[in-house]
Amino acid sequence: MNNRSDFKILDQKVHNRPLIYFDNAATTQKPQIVIDAITNYYETINSNIHRGVHSLSQLATDQFEAARRTVQTFINAQHHHEVIFTRGTTESINLIASSFGKAFLQSGDEVLISEMEHHANIVPWQMICEEKGAKLKVIPFDFNGVLQVELLEQMITSKTKIVAITHISNVLGTINPIKKIIEVAHSKGVPVMIDGAQAISHEKVDVQALDCDFYCFSGHKMYAPMGIGVMYGKEEWLNKMPPYQGGGEMISQVTFEKTTYNELPFKFEAGTPSVGDVLGLMKAIEYINHIGIEQIAQYEHELLDYAMSQLNEIPEIQFYGLSPQKVAVISFNLGKIHPYDVGVILDHQGIAVRTGHHCAQPIMQKYQIPGTVRASFALYNTKEEIDAFIKALLQAKKMLE
């Protein structure tokens, strides 16, 4: 893809080497169109929204709500008020765990997650389960990183109140069969929440086709700013759930005796939102749509295949996550060399990868390793960068053995 010129940050050098950015699963870089949208907001229409009759407030409000409709179309939500703006996937999941848990979880109930979850989809559920006296149950994955979905039917019981599962693992790259998971859960009357942080920039997400009850994602992993995310929820569930935070915007009427809550989506959007970042998210979606999500996915898969064919030639390399259905995320170790040491040497070659447990310590515990080296690709990466990466890896292996 010839989009590198849209990302000025990629022109710089690190340790006098051209920057090779392979840490896209942590955060993607931002195209100039997104940066310009944020700058333009603060230079031309900076104002609080929904509350002002003056022109700037009305302009900002119109843009903010246009962004909500852009997200609605992007994920094919039935209603624009089913799109709730949050600070990111983590806040979205905390919102659901807290609000859903308060409304529907009781002592002895169960919440079902998977063994490959990011901490953001483990800890909030642990917290609400502890508060309510409920139990957290975990669907395992096999050594190749494939979720054992065949166990799902027997693991869902009459006490299961929600299934919360990742669409794509940030460590293993595994694409989970979430449509099948949703069908099984719904056949037993159980709602499903999907952590879509790693999926939203890699494949088309259609929440109506999936029939998920909740879907969460962050802007910063899809070429948008940090600090902005989305929590999609079906209208019927959002209407039943209590607000997550109290304050301005989420109210209808306040007296010292009683407060009534605002309609959707404002019921879940307390306080002043990050308007500039929401407009940045809108531009990022327009950018993805212009290129085509299918074209992005195809290109990233070509990079994945190219990288794997070369990495497989390295002696003693150990991969974590070899599902037939996966995205361009590669976790590996070089023999007994600590991943941190590999990461430091790669950085001195100008190559940015992620090392460590990737906020998924249970995965590391399963494989009995301290962490992995993770390389993850995006639309602006190239095969030439992968060649340089392989060369640097071989140097690192030679130095550290």
User: Which position has the token pair 């070899």?
Assistant: 322
SS3 at position 19? coil
SS3 at position 307? helix
Dihedrals phi, psi of 106, to nearest 5 degrees = -130, 170
Residues noted as catalytic = 359
- Which residues, at least 6 apart from 344, have a Cβ–Cβ distance to it below 8 Å? none
| Inter-residue contact 186 to 167 (CB < 8 Å) | no
Say how far residue 159 (Cα) sits from the centre of its chain.
Answer: 28
Q: Name the DSSP class of 174.
A: B
| Inter-residue contact 28 to 3 (CB < 8 Å) | no
Distance separating alpha carbons of residues 374 and 371, to the nearest angstrom: 9
- Which residues, at least 6 apart from 192, have a Cβ–Cβ distance to it below 8 Å? 162, 163, 164, 165, 178, 181, 182, 185, 186, 212, 213, 214
Torsion sign (Cα): 348, 349, 352, 358:
negative
| Inter-residue contact 202 to 378 (CB < 8 Å) | no
| Number of neighbouring beta carbons within 10 Å of residue 5 | 11
Distance separating alpha carbons of residues 222 and 53, to the nearest angstrom: 34
Residue 170: both structure tokens together:
């940030």
